[in-house]
Amino acid sequence: MNITVVAVGKMKEKYWVQAAAEYEKRLGAYAKVKMVEVPDEPTPDNASPAQEEAIKAKEAARILAQIKERDYVVALAIEGQVFSSEAWAEQMERITGQGFSSLVFVIGGSLGLHSSVLQRSHLKLSFSKFTFPHQMMRVILLEQVYRAMRIIRGEPYHK
């Protein structure tokens, strides 16, 4: 399986970079993992709703340019579906069983994802009603995908 994470913005803090790299390395035993960072748009303080929509649209164009027609797209969105780790592993198995060999996760910028990205996604996934910094979210996502792979293979994992 090919797993791509398309994220708006760069990983800056060394500890997040290291944590993400560790889970990418662990996932390498199960899948080919690729991280794609697309530039974020500067957001002025007190941006109007129209400005925010324009910013999300620009970021969406960059995101959508990274997605192929046959990719299964999972958009991380606060209003998305919530899974337990076991249920997420079952969902990942179903996705691969549907003939998708590429799974693309999308993490938006500070304003979230544009509706065009949400419409392109097959699944909207939420890890919580909380809002997380995108760097932390990348690490959480990679850890949960790694955990799902271990569950799928019947390997031990911490409950």
Question: What are the pLDDT digits (tens) for 139-156?
Answer: 999 999 999 999 999 998
Confidence of residue 97 (pLDDT cuts 50, 70, 90): confident
- Is residue 8, in this structure, part of any structural domain at all? yes
3-state SS, residue 43: coil
**Statement: residue 138 has pLDDT above 80:** yes
Give binding residues as ranges.
Answer: 76, 108
- Is residue 157, in this structure, part of any structural domain at all? no
Structural domains counted in the chain: 1
- Structural domain harbouring 135: 2-152
- The answer to whether the beta carbons of residues 35 and 20 sit under 8 Å apart is yes
Give binding residues for S-adenosyl-L-methionine as ranges.
Answer: 76, 108
What is the chain's length? 159
- For tokens 């708006």, what's the residue? 8
Q: Please compute, for residue 46, the number of CA atoms within 13 A of its CA located in the half-sphere on the CB side.
A: 0
- Is residue 159, in this structure, part of any structural domain at all? no
- Tens-place pLDDT, residues 112-125: 999 999 999 999 99
The CATH number of whichever domain residue 62 belongs to comes to: 3.40.1280.10
What CA–CA distance (Å, rounded) separates 89 from 51? Answer: 38
- Is residue 47, in this structure, part of any structural domain at all? yes
- Is residue 143, in this structure, part of any structural domain at all? yes
